[in-house]
Chain A
């Protein structure tokens, strides 16, 4: 038996034939990066390859790194192994990685969602023999509503709070969800304020995208200016003194975890919007089906449960340990 095309070792997902890693969590010589979230793009690799839209993001986060950008669908070879990136629909600049050698095709999904959010590129199913998939929300309780319904609900929530003279605070990750929310907020309702972390990341992305105008909250921002408007802040801001300026406020979070009441109460926030940048149960199953793969390897999320279910559907499914985080949204 020859070695599998992609294997899992203590540094990341490894292609021995090309001597290249994908989303390595320890420093390596050469790495292909699926997207800019911290658990997938670590500091310290010698050479990075990623989608060109992801370059500003990882440079903003990791500083001056040696990075090459590629287009979706553009093939590049390393030691006769053919690689290409394909849209994953997770966040801006996110990709799946297709790896082909002697007719055998593997795909690593990275993180993905199947609904087109209008900014991340539409998820593209890639035919393969072996599919390495995330399954963050690999349970049948996770089923998303169409995003337009969620954003309508979000804008109405903002309007209601405005009527009650309250400031709306929405807590989302600064990369990905923040920009997705920003794109769909109705700026006619009021002013969109941002926390510094969100403003900086969004600034990096404005070159390529058209987002509504935002105002960064600074020491000079007046309490009265915020009233009735909306603030986008990272989850870490919740419960800090930074929030004082927003009093009286109503808090919310937008994430797939908001599906369950317990998760919402644990975070002690008022309103939960079920809005995820990952595939839901049906999304995962349909994505796997359209790859026409035989083997599925589940990396992070409810891996044991999800792979067990895949086996009942006839897939050769198993799990692999990685250091990708399960609790992101």
Chain B
């Protein structure tokens, strides 16, 4: 635990990615194998289940620090992180623990089934023994996600530096349902396994957003155009009688979409497709909300599979007959893909093609983009005919040209303090629109992003001076400020007082030029439905 806590402290003392990777590498170089496997587990979201619920843990922490419960709660809202609050309010202790990390985690696994008294005793005993960082880590392991500024990718990079194993191979080794309590560092990480390479995806190639004017991109005839589909970007790999589906988040999601297994049975060996997994209820393209019902599920029920099946809409082909063809031109690759689609469209039901289009005039492109909502796309993709399939994001080859979001002017009515880097600042806002006769403001959305740090500070300071009521951590403020709120989609909702739910609402700008009377009405919002 001592070494692990020191690692977290080191990571916490720098804002630089390389320094974080270096600290992690040094930890992996020296740590005990059992501790390493747990560290990998923790940093790849495999924390043990919560042994003590959040209410209990707050109560115990309040008791040990001899402060009233309300004061603990107030402190928590201001600090914005439960484990950190606990580590701060408990009486100080400077000693260090020699007990290794993996033993703590084994304790935590055991603790879940113990009586409340035993849980409390265990927490008290260790809270008293540990110093600030150890306490923070110890408590963090038992509450919420273990987010401390190290992504799984960063951890994999450090592990790769420490072991000399390729990052992509490691990424694959870390996939799946392994458990730290019955895996070893040797078997999971170090042992060579030819299968590791079988599933290996290519890095995704990404597009830049069009910022200026379309005509700045040059001649439209140099490009192929597609609609930008709203699902999960994925690679479908068929090799050696197996298939693998990787999402852009470098997550292996093969098991989540069993209807795509049919690709494996039919496509030739050594085929890798780039495309989009899209919900397809009632034989038509669904929206992202439909797909969300599938994303979270590991085990998909038959009824869900029937209600919301998915399709794979192919954009590109990266490997053909076992050969990497990413350096061929986009037009050449699309020719291969189009032929493949023609051959299999009737036998592979979920195989769809993202059709390419050609335009000779940017005005026509603009017109095509206007159709996006109607055909349930997010806008257009614009790809140079002769572009290779690159790595990451490169300016100039591929562009995305999204539909303009919906937007509406709403009034700030409530605020809460943010978490993480926004802790202690009022940055989480609730917005309202007018009812029919403009007599009442009705809440319609919450938004957390879109203002600059400077604007957040200004709003924060205004909120602190203009609070009209408090409900726990929530402040009601005088209706005074109007903000333009953008959102991607809108649907009817019984759960919301306003009767509508918006997708990805965010603040576009602070309309200091507008008075609250100028804000939009709920009717105007519903007209967008």
Q: Report yes or no: B421 in contact with A265, Cβ–Cβ below 8 A.
A: yes
| B12 cross-chain contacts in A, Cβ below 8 A | 261, 264
Interface residues as binary, B64-86 with A (CB distance below 8 Å gives 1, 0 otherwise): 01011011101100111100110
Q: Report yes or no: A262 in contact with B423, Cβ–Cβ below 8 A.
A: yes
Closest Cβ of chain B to A298, distance in Å, is 14
Q: Report yes or no: B14 in contact with A262, Cβ–Cβ below 8 A.
A: no
Closest Cβ of chain B to A285, distance in Å, is 11
| B80 cross-chain contacts in A, Cβ below 8 A | 260, 262
| A38 cross-chain contacts in B, Cβ below 8 A | none
CB contacts under 8 Å to A, within B75-133, are 75, 78-81, 84-85, 88-89, 92
Q: How many residues of B contact A (CB 8 A)?
A: 32
**In the complex with contacts A140-B65, A260-B84, A302-B78, A266-B422 CB distance below 8 A:** yes
Q: Report yes or no: B424 in contact with A260, Cβ–Cβ below 8 A.
A: yes
Q: Report yes or no: B68 in contact with A266, Cβ–Cβ below 8 A.
A: no
Q: Report yes or no: B71 in contact with A140, Cβ–Cβ below 8 A.
A: yes
**Does B395 lie at the interface of the complex (its beta carbon under 8 Å from any beta carbon of A)?**
no
Q: Report yes or no: B422 in contact with A261, Cβ–Cβ below 8 A.
A: no
Closest Cβ of chain A to B456, distance in Å, is 9
Q: Report yes or no: B424 in contact with A141, Cβ–Cβ below 8 A.
A: no
**In the complex with contacts A139-B74, A269-B15, A309-B71, A263-B84 CB distance below 8 A:** no
B79 partner, pick from A262, A308, A309, A312, beta carbons under 8 A: A262
A311 and B151 CA atoms in complex are apart in Å by: 45
A261 and B87 CA atoms in complex are apart in Å by: 12
Closest Cβ of chain B to A163, distance in Å, is 14
Q: Report yes or no: B78 in contact with A139, Cβ–Cβ below 8 A.
A: yes
Q: Report yes or no: A259 in contact with B15, Cβ–Cβ below 8 A.
A: no
A302 and B79 CA atoms in complex are apart in Å by: 13
**Does B494 lie at the interface of the complex (its beta carbon under 8 Å from any beta carbon of A)?**
no
Closest Cβ of chain B to A166, distance in Å, is 10
Name the residue of chain B whose CB is nearest to the CB of A262: B423
A141 and B75 CA atoms in complex are apart in Å by: 7
A139 and B65 CA atoms in complex are apart in Å by: 13
A-B contacts, 9 of them at CB < 8 A, read A143-B88, A260-B424, A262-B79, A262-B419, A262-B421, A263-B424, A265-B421, A270-B15, A309-B68
Instruction: Using CB atoms and an 8 Å cutoff, list the residues of chain A in contact with chain B.
Output: 139-143, 250-251, 259-266, 268-272, 302, 305, 308-309, 312
The 6 closest A-B pairs by CB, nearest first: A262-B423, A141-B88, A265-B421, A266-B421, A270-B14, A271-B13
Given contacts A260-B84, A305-B74, A309-B71, 13 further A-B contacts (CB under 8 A): A139-B74, A140-B67, A141-B85, A260-B88, A260-B423, A261-B81, A262-B80, A262-B81, A262-B421, A265-B15, A266-B423, A266-B425, A266-B453
